[in-house]
Amino acid sequence: MQTAARFNHETVLLDGEDFVDCAFQTCKMVYAGGELPTFNDCRFDDCDWKFDDAAARTLAQLKQVWNAGGKASVQAMIKEITGVAR
């Protein structure tokens, strides 16, 4: 677990990590599709989010569904993720 850590201009591997009260400044946040990371009371400033491996394949599959005519299904998932569907 990372607690009260400060990350500045770093590549941060997220899979399976727990972050509490951390600050991320101009970092590249990388999730590869493993165990979900947790963020509690963290701050993000000007970070880029990158999805690798299984996570990237999942996004590629969603893009294929969208392009094959499944736009409504993908939009419904996005609404569920963002809480708009409630």
The whole-number pLDDT of residue 2 equals 96
Range of the domain at 13: 1-51
In SS3 terms, the chain reads as CEECCEEECCEEECCCCEEECCEEECCEEEECCCCCCEEECCEEECCEEEECHHHHHHHHHHHHHHHHHHHHHHHHHHHHHHCCCC
Tell me the whole-structure pTM to 2 decimals. Answer: 0.86
Q: 60 and 42 in one domain?
A: no
Q: 65 and 26 in one domain?
A: no
Q: 76 and 35 in one domain?
A: no
Q: How many domains does one find in the chain?
A: 2
Q: 46 and 70 in one domain?
A: no
Q: 44 and 4 in one domain?
A: yes
User: What is the per-residue pLDDT across 41-85, written as a single tens digit (0 to 9) for each?
Assistant: 999 999 999 999 999 999 999 999 999 999 999 999 999 999 986
